[in-house]
Amino acid sequence: MILDTTSLYQIFKIPSLVTHFVEHKALNQEISFMDFLSMHYWGEDINDNDDEKDMQLPFKKFEIQHTSLDFFPCISSFQFKSPGWPVKVNYGPERPQGHYNAALGSLFRPPQA
């Protein structure tokens, strides 16, 4: 939910802003809403012993929130795949040779007549 991970949850505090403005309006009929905002957000707040209510106003204090969302897909089963080619254990000819000719195996081969 976006309200949990951002400061947008402060919007839910707007009724307390209106209520607190009405309280100030009851104390001073000449105060405008802009004067109220200026007093609580942009200027010096008068000492009227309502600091606890002032700090409950929206965007008056910020709480740093960090949310880490990790995603781990559910894998029902895991299987190793066999290689696509056969592994040859013995290197050499496919069929064993019946006899060995030394002349074919030597580097020097004299001409034959």
How confident is the model over 60-88, as pLDDT tens digits?
A: 776 666 667 777 777 777 777 776 777 66
Mean pLDDT, consecutive 10-residue segments, the chain of 113 residues? 66 88 90 88 76 82 68 76 71 66 68 73
Q: Please state, rounded to an integer, the average pLDDT across all residues of the chain.
A: 76
Q: Say what the pLDDT of residue 2 is.
A: 57
Q: Say what the pLDDT of residue 83 is.
A: 67
What are the Cα distances from residue 6, in Å, to 38, 100, 106? 25, 83, 83
User: Residue 20 and residue 38: Cα distance in Å, rounded?
Assistant: 14
User: Residue 84 and residue 97: Cα distance in Å, rounded?
Assistant: 29
For the record, the structure tokens of 94 come out as 């496919």
Helix (H, G, I), strand (E, B) or coil at 2: helix
In this structure, which amino acid lies at residue 20?
A: H
Q: Say what the pLDDT of residue 26 is.
A: 92
Q: Say what the pLDDT of residue 30 is.
A: 92
What are the Cα distances from residue 104, in Å, to 33, 94, 111? 108, 19, 13
